[in-house]
Structure 1
Amino acid sequence: MDFEPWWLIAIPILFGLGWIAARVDIRQMLSENRSLPDSYFRGLNFLLNEQHDRAIDAFIEVAKLDPETTELHFALGSLFRRRGEIERAIRVHQNLLQRADLPSAQREHALNELAQDYLRAGMLDRAEAAFEQLKPTRYAPDALRALIRIHETERDWPRAIQAVQALQGLIDEPVPQAVHFHCEEALAALNAPVPDLDAAHAALDAATHASIQSQQGSDAVPHVRIAMMRADLALREGDLRAQRLHLESILAAHPSYAGLVADQLLANHRADGTENQALDQLEAHYQRFPSLDLFNAIFQAQRTLRGLPQAWAFARAALQRNPSLLGLDRLLEARIASHGAPVQVAGGEPDAWLPLDDATLMRSLIHKHTQRLDRYACSACGFKARRFHWQCPGCNAWETYSPKRLEELDA
C-alpha cells in the first residue's frame, strides 16, 4: 500500500480531536460530580448496605439542598412507605404535587404514589379520589385494580362491578372475583326490607355471564354459589322443582359440596312427602364422597324419619369406614339426648351400646378437642370459622375455604 502525504496532516488532527473529546467528557463528569452533594453518595452507600435509616437521613439532606431532585423525592417516598412511615411518604408526594413546574408525566407519577400512600394508610376516601383522577392516564389499569379493591372493601358491589368492566375495557384480563360481586349484589337484593326478586335474577344472570367470560364454566367453584343462590330464589318463588334441580346439579358437578346443601335438599323433598327418597340419595352419595357435614345431615334425618336404630346402624358403619372424632362426638350427643334408652337393633336384643354416664364422660373428654376441629379454614391465611365463607373474613381472599372441616383436611 502506497504512502499518502496527506496522512501526515490527518493523523495529528484525529489525535487532537480525541484528546479534546476526552477533556470535555472529563470536565462534564467533574461538573456533574460537583453538582451532586456528598450526602447523595453517602445515601447510596447506606442504601446498598441496607442501612435504611441512615440512607433516609442522607437523602433528606440532599432534598433540602436541591429541591429540584424529583427522582430522589420519589425514592425517598417509596422508602418511607416501605418502612411504614406513611405520613412522611404522603408529605413527600404532596410536596411534589405542589410544584408548579413539575412535568405532567412526573405529576401523574406523584399522584399515583400518593394514592398508594393513602391506600396503605387505610384512607380509602382519599385513595379513591386519587385513583379516580388517574383513570385517564397511563396508570389507569393499576388505578382500576386498586379501585376494585377499595369498592370490595367498602362492599359497594355496583361500583366494584363498574370498575371491573372499565378494566376489562382497557385490557383483556379476567377478574374471577367479579362472579362473586354479582352474587353479593343478588344477595343484597334478596336481603332488602322488600326483597327484589327481579334484581336478584338479573344479578345471577350477570354472575353466570361473568363466569363464562372468565372461563369459569359449570365445573368451577362459583357455579356452586350461583346454583345455591338460584335454589334459594326458586324456593322464595315457590318453585320446588327448580330448587331441586339446582341443588342436585351441585351434587353432580361438585360432590364435595354436598354437605352444604343436604339440609335444603331434604327440606325440598319433605314438602312433597318424598324425604325418604332424598335420604337414600344422600346415603348413596355419602358412600362415594364422605364428609362430616353430610354425615351429620344424614344422621339427623335418619333419627327423625326412621328412628334411632336406623340412625345408629348408619353412624356405626360410617365411623368404621371413616373414623372421625367429630362423628363420634355427634353420636355421643345423640346418645345423651336419648337419655340412655337402649336401642332395639333389628333381629337382636336391645343394645345399650354405652351407659349414659359413660357417654357423658366420654363426650366431655373429646368435645373440647372436637370444637377446635369443627371449623372451616382459609387456605391463604389460616383463618378459622364455624360457618363456610366464600370470602375469607381474615384476608378477604375469595374461594379459599374448602367445604371440609379441619379434621378432614388434616386426615
Structure 2
Amino acid sequence: MNDTVYLVGFFCAIAIGFWLGRRDKRKKVRKSKERLSKEYFIGLNYLLNEQTNEAIDTFIKALETNPDSQETFDTCIALGRLFCKRGEVDRAIRVHQSLLARPSLTKKQSLMVQLELSRDYYSAGLLDRSEGLLTQLVEVNAGFQVEALELLLAIYQQEKEWLLAIEIGKKLLKNNVVSYSNLVAHFYCELAEEQVAKSNTTEGREYLKQALKYNKQCVRASLVLGKLEYSQGNLKESLKALQKIYNQDPNYISESVPLLEELRLEQSGSVQKSVNSYLQKCLKDYPSVAIVLSLAKEIEMKQGAKDAGKFIAEQLARRPSLRGLNQLIDIHIGIAEGKSKKNLGLLRELTRKLSDGKPLYRCINCGFSGQELHWQCPSCQHWGEVKPIHGVEGQ
C-alpha cells in the first residue's frame, strides 16, 4: 500500500515538474518573442524617421534575440536593404549570403533572398552575378518574376544590350506591365540608329517599324525615320514621317524644324508648299519660336528682311521669346547704319549673355535640365521624358 502511494506520488511529481518546465519554457519563448517584436517595431520606427544608424543597431540586437523566427528573416531582409541604401553594399551582401545559407528557409524565402542578393550585386556593379541569379528566378517563376525581369532590364540597358532588353520588355508586356511598350519602342530606336550609322538602311527601317508597332506615339521613331527617308531621297516619305509628330507629341515639333527646312530647300515645289502649309498649321495650333524663326526665314528670302522682322515682332507681341528677340535684333542690325547699328550691337551682346547657358530641355519626371536632348534622362533614367522647354527662355 505504501509502495503504491509512493509510486503515485513519484509520477505526480514528474508530471508537475514537466508541466512547470513547459510553462517556464513557454514564458521564456513568449518573452523572447515579445522582446524581439518590441525591438523590431522600435527599429521600424527609427527607419520611418530616417534614423538609419539607430535602426541598424536595433535590428542587430533583434537578430541576437531569436535567430530562427520569421521576424528574424524579415529583419535580415530589412537590414540588408538598409546597408545597401547607405552604400554599404559589402555588408548587405554578407547579411543576405548568411541568410541564404540557413537550411531552415522555405523555398519562397530562399527565392526572396536571392532577389535581394541580386539587387546587392547590381548596386555593387557585379552585373554578371546579378544577371545569373535573376535568370534563375525568371525560370523558376515563383512570384518574383516581374521584379526579376525589371532588374534584368536595368542591367541590359546599362550594358546597351538592346536585343536582350527587348526580349525582357516583351516578357514584361506579357505580364500586363503595359508601360514597358514605350521602353521597347526606344530600344528598337537604339538599334535603328546603330544600323543607320552603319548605312544598313533596310535593317534600320525595319527596327523603326517595330518601334512604332509597340508605341504609335513614339516621336523618336518618326524623327529618325524622317532623317532616314531624307537621306535616301524620299522627300515625301520624309515629310510624312515628320508630320506624324503633330499628333504624337506636339512638344517635339521644334525638333523636326531643321529637317523641315532642309526639305523646303529641295527643288520640289509640292514638298516646299506642303512644308510651309504644315508649319503655318503648327504655328496656329502649337506655336513655338523655332516655327516662327523658320517661317521668318522663308519671308525674308521671298519678301525681304523688313517683312521678316515685322512678322517676328508680331509673334513676339503674342508670345515673348528671348531667341525670337535675338533674331529680330540680328535682322535690324543687318539693315541699320551708323550709331543705330552700334547701339543694336550692344543690345545684341546683352541678349546673347542672357541666353547663353540657359537650358533648352527639361525632364518632366525629375526636373533634370540641359542644352541637349536625351531620349533617356541622365538623372532618373526614364525614357522619353526629356522635352523642349517652352516659354520666354525656351521654345
Equivalent residue number for residue 118 of structure 1: 121
Counterpart check, 1:158 vs 2:170: no
Identity between Structure 1 and Structure 2 (%):
28
- Offset at 1:328? 0.6
What is the CA–CA distance in structure 2 between the aligned matches of 1:66 and 1:306, rounded to whole Å?
Answer: 87
* Bigger mean CA offset, 234-243 vs 363-372: 363-372
Contact 1:97 1:111 in 2 (8 A): yes
Task: Tell me which protein shows more helix as a share of its residues.
Answer: 2
Match of 2:384 among 399, 404, 409: 399
Query: 2:319 maps to which residue?
Result: 322
Instruction: Using the TM superposition, give the Cα deviation of residue 38 of structure 1 relative to its aligned residue in structure 2, in angstroms.
Output: 5.8
- Write the distance in 1 (CA, Å) between the matches of 2:179 and 2:243: 29
2:191 is matched with which residue? 185
Could you tell which deviates more after superposition, 155-164 or 42-51?
42-51
Q: 1:43·1:55 contact (CA, 8 Å) conserved in 2?
A: no
**CA deviation profile, 1:81-131 (whole Å, cap 9, x unmatched):** 344432211110011223455432222111111112223344433322222
State the one-letter code of the partner of 1:200: G
Partners in 2 of 1:300 and 1:161 — Cα distance?
42
| Structure 1: distance between partners of 2:57 and 2:311 | 72
Aligned in 2, Cα 1:304/1:73: closer, same or farther, shift over 3 Å?
A: same
Letter in 2 for 1:151: Y
**What is the aligned counterpart of 1:76 among 65, 71, 79?**
79
Q: Partners in 2 of 1:83 and 1:256 — Cα distance?
A: 39
CA 356–123 in structure 1, closer or farther in 2 if over 3 Å, else same: farther
Q: Which moved further from structure 2: 155-164 or 33-42?
A: 33-42
Equivalent pair of 2:376/2:384 in contact (CA under 8 Å): yes
| Separation in structure 1 between the aligned mates of residue 386 and residue 359 of structure 2, nearest angstrom | 14
Amino acid corresponding to residue 229 of structure 1 in structure 2:
V
* Conservation of the 8 A alpha-carbon contact between 1:266 and 1:279: no
Q: Distance in 2 between matches of 1:334 and 1:26?
A: 96
> For the aligned residues, what is the CA RMSD?
3.3
Structure 1 residue 354: Cα displacement: 8.1
Deviations 1:209-257 (A, max 9, x none): 212xxxxx4xx3x1x2222222222123222221122223334665443
Please give the per-residue CA displacement for 1:251-273, whole angstroms capped at 9, x wherever unaligned: 46654433222222232232224
Structure 2 residue 101 is matched with structure 1 residue 106 = no
> 1: CA distance between counterparts of 2:177 and 2:281?
44
Q: Is the Cα–Cα contact under 8 Å of residues 40 and 59 in structure 1 kept in the other structure?
A: no
Question: What's 2:261 paired with?
Answer: 266
The 10-residue stretch of structure 1 (101-110 or 145-154) with the greater mean CA deviation from structure 2: 101-110
1:386 is aligned with what amino acid? Q
Distance 1:291 1:131, change over 3 A: same
User: How far, CA to CA, are the matches of 2:279 and 2:53 in structure 1?
Assistant: 63
Residue 229 of structure 1, aligned match among 224, 230, 235: 224
Q: Which moved more, 1:383-392 or 1:297-306?
A: 297-306
TM-score by length of 2: 0.80
Contact 2:321 2:391 (C-alpha < 8 Å) held by counterparts: no
Q: Distance in 2 between matches of 1:326 and 1:108?
A: 57
Q: For 1:225 and 1:326, how far apart are their aligned partners in 2?
A: 25
1:326 Cα deviation after fit: 2.2
Measure, in 1, the Cα distance between the counterparts of 2:295 and 2:204: 31
User: Corresponding residue for 1:202?
Assistant: 206
Amino acid at match of 1:378: C
Aligned twin of 2:146: 141
Cα deviation 1:319-361 (Å, max 9, x = unaligned):
223222221122223444x3xx34xxxxxxxxx6981211121
How far the C-alpha of 1:281 sits from its partner, in A, is 4.5
Q: 2:291 maps to which residue?
A: 294
TM-score by length of 1: 0.77
How far did residue 67 of structure 1 move?
4.7
User: Do the aligned partners of 1:276 and 1:305 also contact (CA within 8 Å) in 2?
Assistant: no
CA distance change for structure 1 residues 245 and 132 in 2, over 3 Å: closer, same or farther?
same
- Shift of the 145–252 alpha-carbon distance from structure 1 to 2, 3 Å rule, reads closer
- Looking at structure 2, the residues matched to 368 and 126 of structure 1 have their Cα atoms a distance apart, in angstroms, of 50
**Distance between the aligned counterparts of 2:240 and 2:209, measured in 1?**
17
| 1:144-182 CA distance string (max 9 Å, x none) | 011112222322211110101222334464413221111
Provide the C-alpha distance between the structure 2 equivalents of 1:233 and 1:409, rounded to a whole number of angstroms.
28
Between the aligned partners of 2:37 and 2:365, the Cα distance in structure 1 is 42
- 1:5-62 deviation per Cα after TM superposition (whole angstroms, max 9, x unaligned): xxxxxxxxxxxxxxxxx99996564031355696774464354355543442343345
Out of 341, 344, 355, the residue aligned to residue 359 of structure 1 is 344
Query: Which residue of 2 is the match for residue 377 of structure 1?
Result: 362
Letter in 2 for 1:197: T
Q: Tell me which residue corresponds to 2:94.
A: 91
Residue 371 of structure 2: aligned partner = 386
Distance in 2 separating the partners of 1:389 and 1:171: 28
